[in-house]
A = this chain, B = another copy of it.
C-alpha cells in the first residue's frame, strides 16, 4: 500500500486533505532515505510523471508551504530567484555547485564551527547555514580571507 497512512497522516497534520495530487507529492518527498533538494518546478515534473496528469502550481505551492509551515520541509538560502526546498529539516550544511545548481548535504558532524560571535542586541541564534560553493578546478578561487 506504499505506506498510505504515513502520507495521509503527514498531510492531515499539515492541515490538508489527502488527495491524489498531494499523496503523490508526499510520496516523492518522504519516501526516501536521503535528503531531497528541489524547486517547485522540479517537483512538478516528477509528480506529473508519476500520476500521469497535470498538477497545477497552485496545488504544489499550497502543499509545499503547508509542509514547510509544519516543519516537514525547509527552505534553503541560495542566491538566484528560485526557491529551493530541502526534506532535511535538521540544521545542516551544503555544497553548492553553481555550474549545475547541484546541492549536496554535509552532515553537521562534518563541520565544526567554533568561536561563534554573539547575536546582536536581544536577538537569539535560530539557525546556522553554511554554504560551500564549489566549481571545476579551472575556475579561480575567491580570496577566502
Contact = CB atoms under 8 A, between A and B. Distances in A.
Interface string A104-144: 10101011111111011011111111111111110111111
A79 interface: yes
Interface string A74-97: 011111010100000111000101
Contacts of A79: 75-78, 83
Contact of A108 (B90, B106, B116, B145): B145
A123 B97 contact: yes
Contacts of A135: 123-124, 126
Total copies of this chain within the assembly:
2
Contacts of A141: 124-127
A124 B144 contact: no
The 3 closest A-B pairs by CB, nearest first: A123-B134, A112-B115, A127-B133
19 contacts: A78-B79, A91-B143, A95-B120, A95-B123, A97-B123, A111-B113, A111-B114, A112-B115, A113-B113, A114-B114, A122-B136, A123-B136, A124-B136, A126-B140, A128-B130, A128-B131, A128-B132, A129-B132, A131-B131
Interface of A: 75-79, 81, 83, 89-91, 95, 97, 104, 106, 108, 110-117, 119-120, 122-137, 139-145
